[in-house]
Chain A
Amino acid sequence: MTAPLTLVASERHDGTPVLEVAGEIDMSNASALDQALSQTTGRVPVLVDLRAVDYLDSAGLTVLFTHASRIRLVANPLLEPVLTISGLVEVTTVEKIAPDETSPD
């Protein structure tokens, strides 16, 4: 069994590619995230919406580092320690949202 992970790629009305990630990211499904990010084309940066991710470990972080140059992140506060500690916030843009702000829209 793998961790529950939903990856939905879309595009904002301003044409910004968006990847909405929901669920948990661990080593069992980090490759799926990588694959999804790799499949996004067009404009960069891609907005990776992690607001519905409630678990992110080093396997997922590695994927995000790999794509850091072409992504922006939106994450809930739960992930903030991980993102900060890993240094990801230094190599990419992370938009913080209030805990009650479920959607960037």
Chain B
Amino acid sequence: MARDDHPERGPVASGAAFFDMDGEVGRDLAAVDWGATPLGPPEGWPQSLRTAVSILLSSRFSMWMAWGPQLTFFCNAAYRRDTLGRKYPWALGRSAREVWAEIWDDIGPRIDAVLATGKATWDEALLLFLERAGYPEETYHTFSYSPLRDDDGSVVGMLCVVSEDTDRVIGERRMATLRDLGSDPRAVRTELEMLAFACRQLGLNPRDLPFTLTYLFDDDGLARLVGVTGIPAGHPAVSAVESPGDPDALWPVAALARGEPALVPLDGARFADLPTGIWPEPPLRALVAPLLRQGEGPYGFVVAALNRYRPFDDGYRGFIELAAGHVAAGISAARSYQAQQRRAEELAELDRAKTVFFSNISHEFRTPLTLITGPLQELRNTLADAGPQVRQDLEVVHRNALRLGKLVNTLLDFSRIEASRMQARYEPVDLAAVTAELASVFHSAIDKAGLTFDVDCPPLAEPVHVDRSMWEKVILNLLSNALKFTFDGSIGVRVRGEDTHAVVTVTDTGIGIPAEELPRLFERFHRIETARSRSNEGSGIGLALVQELVGLHGGTITADSAERAGTTFTIRLPFGSAHLAADSLVPARAAEAVSATADPFVQEALRWLPGDDSAVEGSAADLSAGPSRPAPGGGAPIRVLIADDNRDMREYLARLLEGAGYQVSAVADGLQALDAVRAAMPDLVISDVMMPHLDGLALVSALRSDPQTAGVPVLLLSARAGQEASIEGLAAGADDYLVKPFTAAELLARARANVELARMRNHHNRWRNAMIDSLQEGFFVADENGAVIEINAAFADILGYASEGLPYAPEHPWWPDESADPQAHAMVAQAFTQLVELGRGSSVIPVEHREGHRVWIAITFNPVTDPDSGRRRVVGTIRDVTAEHYLVQRESALAALTMRLSQADDPPHALAAGLEVLQEVWHARQVVAAIWTGDTPSELVSSPPGGTRPETREKLTALRQQPPLRPYASETDGAGITLEHPDGLLTVWVDLGEDRPFTNEDQTLLALLAGPLGQGLHRVHQLDQQREAAMALQHAILGPSELPDGFAVRYEPAGRPLEVGGDWYDIVPLAGEHVGIVVGDCVGRGLQAAVVMGQLRSACRALLLQDAGPAQVFTALDRFAALIPGARCTTAFCGILDTATGELVYSSAGHPPGILTHADGTTVLLEGGRSTPLAVRPGHPRPEAHCVMPARSTLLLYTDGLVERRRRPLTDGIDAACATVQAGRSALIEDLASDVMAGLTPDGGFNDDVALLLYRQPAPLEVAFPAESGQLAFVRSALRSWLTRCQLAPSLVQNVLVAAGEACANAIEHGHRNAPGETIRLRAVATGSDLHLTVADSGRWKHPEPEANPHRGRGVALMRALMHKVTIHPGVAGTTVDIHARIPR
């Protein structure tokens, strides 16, 4: 036990000088009877022990040590003070086991471990129940045991460095309980919640509060148990109610009710068997603390059982009283919260009433205000020319109406703020950019005021959450204010970041604010009377609103000012969003243009400035010239649709908007508005909310639900003020919500802003739509069934079917009527099939315009997939190619007509060709024409040829009354036209057939074709005439018209172009039976060649007549031709024929060979006597050739035009000529000439002119004699001679002579009985194989009457018997006998 009886001690032994390190403890150590300890007297202690003790004693830090086998205890002064307590100095020199017996179970093993291992231990805040104050005490120690070694290094002890943590641990524990009791006030709403929370917290500290009971006094003064911790509710110590007057009461209720705490020992039966809780033993005492209430009796009390292991000191009492205080405060808070909540509900009720009142009032204010400001605006316009007094008065009214309106709006803002209905939408923005943008709207006004405007807004590093519309009001109010009070110098806006805040300053160098006014600056309705401002307007409410708005952002605003120096407003807004309610945050939106809010501010500010006449004039024109100009870039007028059931309002709005340059249409309700929008998409819809049939909200919903109209911006107007109303409108999809009353400028600004916003918002769609609508081509989208579901304006224009009718299901209404025009219908159907099945293609098809006329469209389409629905779509374009179609039709018809006309040689062919073209162009049933000379029509010409309907004849007749070239169309079946024809008036009828109307285009085309047809007919007619004239000329030159018998000649000018040429033939009768024959070909064409030809021909003829032979003729012509320009290189064939013998002498000057065909078909080319063309080698001798034309042979001379063919050798042509002559050698010579010309004419006519000459040997015999029998012998003689030339068999000669003689005798005897001496003609012609004889008289033969005159009958019989065929042609003018005899081979 403790040793407190130590008497006076002497100084320590010298051997223990180290004890001197500490005066007190050292003295007590020295006093220990060390000899009785295992350590022995200190003089014998090893150095290591001495050193350890010396360190121990010299340390001010709390330490103890144990040394030696008994673990002899040492400690220093600090340890003595802090820990050892009453065990000092008893403990010194004793075994540590003895000293700390009560905790040896805890520390013994640690010490043993140190001694055994030599490793130090560390324990922090270890709970140790020390009995140092007479009872087991809850203590906490942090200590380290480290080994102590003796001189040889072995562990012989331990040193404990220790600090006691008891106060700290317990203090922290109690603080935690108190802290927790005061925490989370938000979680505590009601008293019950609060008590439950408090108990939870009290229960968490069982060490200091082994158990607690909480009682609250009720209104009767009874204490009712409301909370229990650490003890079962059914324990006898727990009573539900404690009464102040109850003698059995466990707690001193009455005292407690007075607010007096009490320490109650927990003894007695009811406290037996208390729970021990966390401690080994149950508590012994409890402190009962009242729950004090300020100014009144306690709420109740808390019974707090006390920790028996701690002294009940002031700290402990304070802790419990504080805990009770927290509980009381919680109860107070809960009760006041409940009271507040009740009050708040009452206030809310009041506020609702107030809001209703405000809404009603605003309605009452706004509508009349609108109808004051609106007509006033009109009045200002109307009275613009009135006297200045009137205008000034109006201006005053106007200004004050505006003020009133602004005031009402601001008051509404306040009422909303107070009602917490300012439903802000805070979004993160770059405050610098937003602020600079807002500031920029004031630029012009500030410039105009002659002030410098410094906007210094570098980007901030962090976003600031602001509600854009509120922030606009803040900045615009401040700038407006600055401008109002600043007359020179500058206005500045500056944005900076400062740690956690963004700082926005608005500075001016204005008149400043007197220092005494500064504190009241932000008071509502407080106006500072200043000497000078730009305007006396102002409600004194702007800055108050600014302050409220800044406050809503969790920011502050302050003002610094010096009179006559300027004012600076400084706004500080925190970064981040922690200060804002989470549900009011929205993500960052795309930057928007400064909203319409700005305009009224700027407008107002501009009105303050001098020289702004619009402030006085205020005309609509000025409005439209100002910032409200609705059509930026001078584009098309912006179309606005107004829907309002109030006629005054409708008209007012219309006037207002029209005055500002909008194109306005107005309707009286939502249904009409819907129809109007669908009919023609406006750029903006301004609609009242309250309307009959379909109100504004429903209108917005309807518009939004239709993709076609979803994009149209809608501005709702309402007299219903308040956020809910506008939110309702915006929620329905309105773009903006304007509350009545509004100023004209505000409406115009909103209108403009919404149009622009919508344009931006719908940029893509609008761009697409604008692009599509701007297409000149019609555009459409069709679904997979071919129904047209979208079209553009051009499409509607082209077909007349507008977008209102969408969708257009197939068959689309523009399909041509199948029965009326099956061909067109089929074309469209084919294109449609392609559209549906392939989705890709293009074609040109005829369709019906809505108005009924035919439109040709070029349609092109391609498949696409709708990105939204994934469905197949076909997009296509159509182009009106009607004009092109008809143009092409006309041009091709014209070309066809021109081509066909050019091929026609004469007017009949030309007309036929023209009618054919007309028939083909219209696929007409028939095209019929008549040429009228006088009232008589020519024979009808038609295409296709054939019978003509009687109606058509009538129409042709009637057409004569029409002016020329003016189409006359029938309603049903065709059209006609009249034109000039060379032979008279030509009427043409195009008979289309059953019920095919003749359209305007058809009429145009008909007129267009009739012109060229008429011209063509005239041209062909002229050509024909020219051709005839040319032929006549040529033949006149070529003469003679009477050819010697046996010859046939032809001249044919080149077919095209019609031109006379240089070819000629000539037959020159010479002496005896000689005939000169010439065929020549001068180079060139036209008149020049004709002249040369004429000269050569004359020269040649003259030479022949001088008995020159062919060679001589050409020799002379060589010289002659050399003198005549253009005569050189003329080719010619010249021969002298003895017709009696058939001998032919000839020469050829480069001419194609003559063709001689014998009676048996043998053909010989006269190729001898050939030399160069004329004048090529003058003086060079000319050769001659001889040949004999056998009887009945045929000679053909010709120019090269007859036989020349392009790209074919000349011999081909010559062979063809030979063949023709050969085949025709039995034909009469004249017929043969025609055959040769016809047979050798190439398609399209001769390219060159052609001359040919045919002769058959012998020439026919022609004898004329008087009808006297005596002439017969002479005739017979002549005939015999000719027949001899024909080289016939004598028997045939005889037979012919007899037959001819009989015919002549008949003619003499019977034909001219009554008129003897009349001439009888005998003609005999030989061909290759036949003889033809003709005997013609002028009388009339008797019929043969054999009985009466047997020998005459015998004559005719003879003729028939002798000859192949005898034909007697009796006639009025005489009788002709044709005798035909075949010449046997």
A-side residues, CB < 8 A to B, are 1-4, 24, 26-28, 54-59, 61-62, 65, 77-79, 81-82, 85-86
Partner of B1351, one of A55, A59, A82: A59
The answer to whether A62 and B1273 touch (CB under 8 A), given A27-B1308, A57-B1298, is no
Q: Is the CB of B1272 within 8 A of A58?
A: no
Taking A57-B1298, A85-B1358 as contacts, is the C-beta distance between A28 and B1351 under 8 angstroms? Answer: no
Residue of A nearest to B1300 (CB): A57
B1291 beta carbon closer than 8 Å to chain A = yes
A residues in contact with B1357, CB < 8 Å: 85
- Asked if B1274 contacts A1 (CB within 8 A), the reply is yes
| Contact assessment for B1305 and A57 in the assembled complex, using a CB-CB cutoff below 8 Å | yes
Return the chain A residue nearest B1351 by Cβ: A62
Contact with A along B177-211 (1 / 0, CB 8 A): 00000000000000000000000000000000000
Mask for B1286-1315, Cβ within 8 A of A = 1, else 0? 000011001101100110010011000000
Total interface residues in chain B, CB < 8 Å: 27
- Say whether B1270 contacts A2, CB under 8 Å: yes
Q: C-beta contact mask, B1302-1345 vs A, less than 8 Å → 1, else 0?
A: 10010011000000000000000000000000000000000000
A85/B1355 in contact, CB under 8 A: no
Residues of A within 8 A of B1273 (CB): 1-4, 24, 26, 28
Cβ–Cβ < 8 Å partners of B1276 in chain A? 3, 24, 26, 55
CB distance from A22 to the nearest CB of B (A): 14
Among B1271, B1354, B1357, B1358, which residue has the most Cβ atoms of chain A within 10 A?
A: B1354
Question: Beyond A55-B1298, A58-B1358, A81-B1294: 15 further Cβ-contacts under 8 Å?
Answer: A1-B1271, A2-B1269, A24-B1273, A26-B1273, A27-B1309, A28-B1272, A28-B1273, A57-B1305, A59-B1351, A59-B1355, A62-B1350, A65-B1351, A78-B1290, A82-B1298, A85-B1358
Contacts of B1270 in A (CB 8 A): 1-2, 28
* B-side contacts of A86, CB under 8 Å: 1354, 1358
B1305 touches A59 (CB 8 A): yes
Contact B1351 A58 (CB under 8 A): yes
- Of the A-B pairs whose beta carbons lie under 8 Å apart in the complex, a sample of 16, sorted by A's number, is A1-B1270, A2-B1270, A2-B1273, A3-B1276, A27-B1309, A28-B1269, A54-B1294, A55-B1301, A57-B1305, A58-B1352, A59-B1305, A77-B1291, A78-B1294, A81-B1295, A81-B1362, A85-B1361
B1296 to chain A, nearest CB (A): 11
How far, in Å, is A40 (CB) from chain B's closest CB?
21
- Tell me whether A57 and B1301 are in contact in the complex, defined as CB-CB below 8 angstroms, given that A81-B1362, A85-B1361, A85-B1362 are known contacts: yes
Q: Which residue of A lies closest to B1355 (CB)?
A: A58
Is B1291 within 8 A of A81, CB to CB? yes
> Chain A residues with Cβ under 8 A from B1354's Cβ?
58, 61-62, 86
Alpha-carbon distance A77/B1294, docked complex (angstroms): 10
- B1284 to nearest A CB, angstroms? 13
- Per the bound structure, the CA–CA distance linking A81 and B1295 in Å amounts to 8
Enumerate chain A residues within 8 angstroms of B1309, measured Cβ to Cβ: 27
Residues B1259-1280 near A (CB distance < 8 A):
1269-1274, 1276
Number of A-B contacts (CB under 8 A): 78
* Residues 1356-1369 of chain B, each 1 if its beta carbon lies under 8 Å from chain A, else 0: 01100110000000
User: How far does the Cβ of B1280 sit from chain A's closest Cβ, in whole Å?
Assistant: 9
- Measured between beta carbons, the chain A residues less than 8 angstroms from B1352 are 58
- State the 8 A-B residue pairs at the shortest beta-carbon distance, nearest first: A62-B1351, A3-B1273, A58-B1355, A28-B1269, A85-B1361, A1-B1270, A58-B1354, A57-B1301
Task: Report Cα–Cα, A79/B1354, bound state, in Å.
Answer: 15
Q: Are A27 and B1272 in contact (CB under 8 A)?
A: yes
The docked-state distance in angstroms from the alpha carbon of A24 to that of B1298 is 11
Contact A78 B1308 (CB under 8 A): no
Quote the shortest CB–CB distance from B1360 to chain A (angstroms): 10
Q: A57 contacts which chain B residues (CB < 8 A)?
A: 1298, 1301-1302, 1305, 1355, 1358
A78 and B1291 contact, CB distance less than 8 A = yes
Cβ of A27 and Cβ of B1269 under 8 Å apart? Answer: yes
The chain A residue with its CB closest to the CB of B1301 is A57
Instruction: Chain B residues near A61: list those with CB within 8 A.
Output: 1351, 1354, 1358
Residues of A with C-beta under 8 A to B1361: 85
Using a CB–CB cutoff of 8 Å, the interface residues on chain B facing chain A are: 1269-1274, 1276, 1290-1291, 1294-1295, 1297-1298, 1301-1302, 1305, 1308-1309, 1350-1352, 1354-1355, 1357-1358, 1361-1362
| Bound CA span A82–B1271, Å | 22
Judge whether B1301 and A82 touch: CB under 8 Å. no
B1274 (CB) vs chain A CBs: closest residue: A1
Chain A's nearest CB lies how many Å from the CB of B1294?
A: 5
Q: Which of B1272, B1290, B1350, B1358 touches A26 (beta carbons < 8 Å)?
A: B1272
Q: Which residues from A are CB-within-8-Å of B1298?
A: 55-57, 81-82
- Chain A nearest CB, measured from B93 CB (Å): 206
Question: CA of A55 to CA of B1280 in the docked complex: distance in angstroms?
Answer: 11
Q: Is the CB of A58 within 8 A of B1302?
A: yes
Chain B residues with CB under 8 Å of A1's CB are 1270-1271, 1273-1274
Residues of A within 8 A of B1297 (CB): 55
- Complex: A55 Cα to B1290 Cα, angstroms: 12
Residues of B within 8 A of A24 (CB): 1273, 1276
User: Which of A4, A79, A85 has the most chain B CB atoms closer than 10 A to its own CB?
Assistant: A85
Q: Nearest Cβ distance between residue B532 and chain A, in whole angstroms?
A: 161
Interface centre among A2, A54, A56, A59 (most CB of B within 10 A): A59
Q: Give the docked Cα–Cα distance between A55 and B1351 (Å).
A: 16
Q: Which residue of B lies closest to A87 (CB)?
A: B1354
Give Cα A59 to B1271, complex, Å.
15
Min CB gap B1292→A, angstroms = 10
Shortest beta-carbon distance, B1361 to chain A, in Å? 4
Q: Point out the residues of chain A lying under 8 angstroms from B1308, CB to CB.
A: 27
A4 to B1297, CA, bound (A): 16
In the bound complex, CA of A24 to CA of B1309 (Å) = 18
**In whole angstroms, what is the CA distance A105 to B1294 when docked?**
26
Closest residue on chain A to residue B1352 by CB atoms = A58
Give Cα A35–Cα B1298 distance, bound, in whole angstroms. 23
C-alpha spacing A3/B1304, complex, angstroms: 14
Bound Cα distance A86, B1309 (Å): 20
Question: Closest approach, in angstroms, between the C-beta of A5 and any C-beta of chain B?
Answer: 9
**Chain B residues near A82 (CB-CB < 8 A):** 1294, 1298, 1358
Residue of B nearest to A5 (CB): B1273
Q: Please name all residues of chain B whose beta carbon is closer than 8 Å to the beta carbon of A4 when the two chains form the complex.
A: 1273
Q: How far is the CA of A81 from the CA of B1274 in the complex (A)?
A: 23
Note all chain A residues with C-beta closer than 8 A to B1271. 1
User: Hey, which chain B residues are within 8 Å of A59, CB to CB?
Assistant: 1305, 1351, 1355
Task: List the B side residues contacting A58 at CB < 8 Å.
Answer: 1302, 1305, 1351-1352, 1354-1355, 1358
- Residues of B within 8 Å of A85, CB to CB, are 1357-1358, 1361-1362
> Which of B1294, B1297, B1352 has the largest number of chain A CB atoms within 10 A?
B1294
A85 to B1361, CA, bound (A): 7
**Quick check: A3 and B1272 within 8 Å, CB to CB?**
yes
CB distance from B1356 to the nearest CB of A (A): 9
In the complex formed, the residue of B with least CB distance to A24 is B1273
In whole Å, how far is A39's beta carbon from the nearest beta carbon of chain B?
A: 21
Is the pair B1291, A26 in contact by a Cβ cutoff of 8 Å?
Answer: no
In whole angstroms, how far apart are the Cα atoms of A86 and B1276 in the complex? 21
Cβ of A56: which chain B residues have Cβ within 8 Å of it? Answer: 1298
Cβ–Cβ < 8 Å partners of A3 in chain B: 1272-1273, 1276
Q: Once the chains are docked, how many angstroms separate the CA of A61 from the CA of B1298?
A: 12
Report the minimum CB–CB distance from B1276 to chain A (whole Å): 6
- CA of A3 to CA of B1277, assembled, Å: 10
Which of B1276, B1301, B1351, B1358 has the most CB atoms of chain A within a 10 A radius of its CB?
A: B1351
Task: Please give, as numbers and ranges, the residues of chain B lying within 8 Å of A27 by CB-CB distance.
Answer: 1269, 1272, 1305, 1308-1309
Contacts of B1290 in A (CB 8 A): 78
- Cα–Cα, bound, A65→B1351 (Å): 9
Task: Give bound CA distance, A58 to B1355, whole Å.
Answer: 5
**Closest-CB distance, A23 to chain B (whole angstroms):** 9
